[in-house]
Structure 1
Amino acid sequence: MLLAALVATTALTACGLPRSGPNRNELLAGVEQTAGAPFAIPVDDNVARITAYEPPLTFPAAFRNAGVLGPDTINAGDTLGLTIYENVNEGLLAGQGQNFAVLDTVQVDGAGFIFVPYAGRIRAAGNTPEALRQIITAQLETQTPEPQVQVRRLAGDGATVAIMGDVGGQGVYPIERPTRTLAAMLARAGGISNEPETALVTVIRGNTEGTAWLNDLYTDPSLDIALRDGDRIVVKQDDRTYIALGATGGQSRIPFGKPVVSALDAIAQAGGLNTNLADPRGVFIMRNESPEIANALLGRNDLVGAQRIVYIIDLTQPNGMFFAREFLIRDGDTVYVTQAPYVQWQKTLSAITGPVGTAGSVNNALN
C-alpha cells in the first residue's frame, strides 16, 4: 500500500513540477502527429549539405564590372579654369593690350555642360580636360586664328558619395584620385567604428543595391568596387540572432557574432549544455524552412509555402558532434536542448522527501 501510494503521489507531483520545456519524448511525440504538425528530421551529412545553402552576400555584376573612373574625368558640379590664347593683337576674348583671356570658376552644370563665349554650350562631363580642350579649340578656330586653350580642373567635388552608419565620420565625400574604390572611400571616412568581422557594407546606386561583408572586400578584389557619383554607402553590424532555450548555460536571444554559425557554435555561445540538466540526445533546431529545401529534404514536390521543420541532433552518436559542427544556424532559428529524464525524477523525489524530512525534524524537536 505504501509503495502504491508513493507511486501515485510521485506521478501527481511530476505533473505539477516546474521545468524549462518539453522533454525529448514529448517533442518527438508531438512532431510525429500527422495533422498540421512540423516535420522531424534527424541531422546527417545530407541534411547539413541541403540546408547549408544561403544566397551569398555580394554586389551585383554591374557594380563589380564597372571600371574605375579616370582621375581626370570631369563630372557635373566640377569647377574648371580656362585660359584662351589668341594669335592676334585684338582677339575675341582677350582684353586690350593682351593676347589671352582667363575664365576662372567655370561651373559644370547639372546636365554636364559649360558655356564658353563664342564657342557656345559645350558638354564637359565625361570628358577629360584634354578632350575638352580639343573641343573648345575646334569651336573657336572658325572665329579666331590658331587659338590655344588650357583647361584646368579646379575642384573635383562634382562626383560625391554619401557614407552613413558605423563609420568614423559620416558625411558626403568627393570621389578623388585616392578614393575611387569602396575600400579606399571607407578608409577616408575614418574606417569602421564597430567590429569589422560582423560589419556589412551596402552600396545603393539608383534603384539597385548590393551588400557584402566588410572583410570580403579585402579578400576578394572584385568586391572592392569602383564608385560612381551619387552612390550611397551604409555600414552596419550584422543583426541576425537565434533563440537558445532549455538546458543550456543561458536562455536568451543571441547575436550571431560572425558570418557563419554552426549548431555546435550556437550551443557554445549559449553557455554549452548544462551538465546537471541537459539530455545530449535531444538538441532540436526549429525553423520555418523554404518549400524548395523542405521538398528536397523530404523527397517530395508537393509542399508549398514555408514549412515548419524540427531538426534533431543526437550528440551521443559517433557522428553527432560532426553533424552539429556542419549544420548551419539561420537568422530566427530556435535552438532547444531538452532536459535529461532523471532530472524530473530528481525534482519529484525532492518534492516528496522534502516535506517528510521537514516533518521528521519537527517531530524530533518536539520530542
Structure 2
Amino acid sequence: MAHEDDALEHERASWKPSPGLAVAVTDPVHNPELPPHRARMTDKDPAAMKTAVRTVYTLFYLSVAASIWAVAAYMIFPIESGRIVDIRNNNLFVGLGIALALLAIGIGAIHWSKAVMSDKEFIEPRHATRGRDTTRAAAVQAFADANEESGFGRRTMIRNSLIAAVAASIVPGIALFRGLAPQDTPEHPNGGNPVYLLSHTMWKKGMRLAHDPEGTPIRAADITLGSAVHVIPEPLAELSHHDGYLEEKAKAIVLLMRLLPEQLNPETNKLDWTYDGIVAYSKVCTHVGCPVALYEQQTHHLLCPCHQSQFDVANGAAVIFGPAARALPQLPIEVDDEGYLVAMSDFTEPVGPSFWERH
C-alpha cells in the first residue's frame, strides 16, 4: 500500500496540462462598489427644494379638505330621506371625498420620499453580537440619522400637514358609522336606543306568517318535512318603501323549517313555541346582521354566508361554529282556527348582532 501511495504522489507532482487544455484561474470577485451618486434637482437648487416641500404639504392639506368635504357631503345628502337622488349623491360625493383624501396622502408621501428625503445610499455592516452599549448607542443614532434624512423633525410644515391629513382621514369613517346607529324620530322617541329598537318588531300575537315577498299566509299543512321557507309578517307586504318597509323587514324576517317533532330539543321555557315540528327563527345573524338563509336538511344546520357562522336548528339555533356570539332568536308560533301559522308574540329578545347594551 505504501508503494502505491508513493506512486500516486509522484504522478500528481509530475502532471502538467497539455498545451490545448484551458485552465480556469479563480481570482477574487471584484466588488463593483456603489454607483456614483446622482444629485437631484432639489439637491442642487434650493428653490426646487422649496417647491417640492410646498407641493407635499399642499397635498396633505388637500387631503384634510377632502376629508372635511366627505363629512359635509354625508350631511348635505342624507340617506335617511329615502330619496334615490340623495342616496346616489351621498354615495358619489362621500366616496369621492374619501378617495381624494387617501390619494392625496399617498401622492404626497411618495413625492416627499423621492424629492425631499435624502436619497444617498448607505451601507450598514452586520455585526456578530448585539446588545452592547455601543450597539444601543448606534441604534439611537440610526433613528436620529433617519429623522435628519427624512426631514420629519426639521420640516414642520410637512410634518404638521401629514399629521393633520392622517387624523382628518379618519373623520369620514366616524361620520359614516353614525348612520349605522338607530336615530330618534317623532314616532319613536326612544329609537336612538338600540335595545329598544331591536327588541320590537312588527310581530304581534295572532299575526299570520306569510311568504316573502308576496305576503301570502302560510298554512301549517303546506310546510313539508325538511323544507325551509322565507317568512315575513302578513301586514308587511302592504307597506310601501316610504312607510318603512325595508326597516321593518330588516328586523322581522324569519326562516321557517319543519323537522320531525322528536328531533327537536327545545329549552324548558320554549316547549310550546313550535307546532308539529315547525320552528321559526330570526334570519338576522347574531354576528353582524347578515341574512342566514342556507339550510342543510340532513344536519339541520343553518349557515350564514357572510362569515360562516352555523346554527343548530334542532337545538334552539345554538351556535356550533363561527364568530356569532349567541343563538338566533326564536319566534313563538301556533296555528289559528283556519290552520294558518301565527305568531304567539313578538321576539322575546333583541334580534340582530350582539352588542354591549343588550341584556
Same-fold call, TM > 0.5? no
Normalising to structure 2: TM-score of the pair? Answer: 0.22
Structure holding more helix per residue: 2
- Whose relative contact order is higher, 1 or 2, with alpha carbons under 8 Å and at least 6 apart? 1
Structure holding more strand per residue: 1
